[in-house]
């Protein structure tokens, strides 16, 4: 079941595996929220669109690589954020859910 709210997304973190019917963007966000940066990054780097670039940027920001993150934020047409990583992840997930 695809979450309709961020709260439903958070509840999905109790699952052992990401639901197969989710979009790649939602899967990448889920893996990151579960603490699996590598799995999230592997998905994001294969997404050749603005969402993939945004996820990629967020992940490199989380990694502490400001230079690389900046490149991906520019590709995603996003300003480098001043909010927390948790706040940004919530915005990303809500953006995916609403699209």
Residues, the chain? 99
Enumerate the domain spans of the chain: 6-98
Burial of 23 (0-12, 13-18, 19+ CB in 10 A): middle
**73 and 54 Cβ atoms separated by less than 8 Å:** yes
The pTM of this model reads 0.95
Q: How far apart, in whole angstroms, are the C-alpha atoms of residue 79 and residue 84?
A: 14
Read out DSSP for 60-73?
HHHHT-HHHHHHHH
pLDDT score of 1: 85
Q: What is the greatest pairwise CA distance in the chain?
A: 37
> From first to last of its 99 residues, what are the pLDDT tens digits of the chain?
899 999 999 999 999 999 999 999 999 999 999 999 999 999 999 999 999 999 999 999 999 999 999 999 999 999 999 999 999 999 999 999 998
3-state SS class at 3: coil
């Amino acid at each position: 079941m695809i979450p309709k709210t961020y709260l439903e997304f958070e509840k999905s973190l109790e699952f052992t595996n990401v639901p197969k019917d989710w979009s790649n963007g939602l899967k990448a966000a889920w893996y990151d929220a579960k603490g699996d940066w590598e799995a999230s990054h592997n998905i994001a780097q294969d997404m050749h669109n603005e969402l993939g670039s945004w996820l990629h940027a967020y992940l490199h920001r989380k990694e502490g690589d400001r230079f690389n993150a900046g490149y991906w934020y520019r590709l995603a047409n996003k300003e480098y954020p001043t909010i927390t990583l948790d706040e940004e992840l919530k915005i990303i997930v809500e953006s995916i859910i609403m699209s």
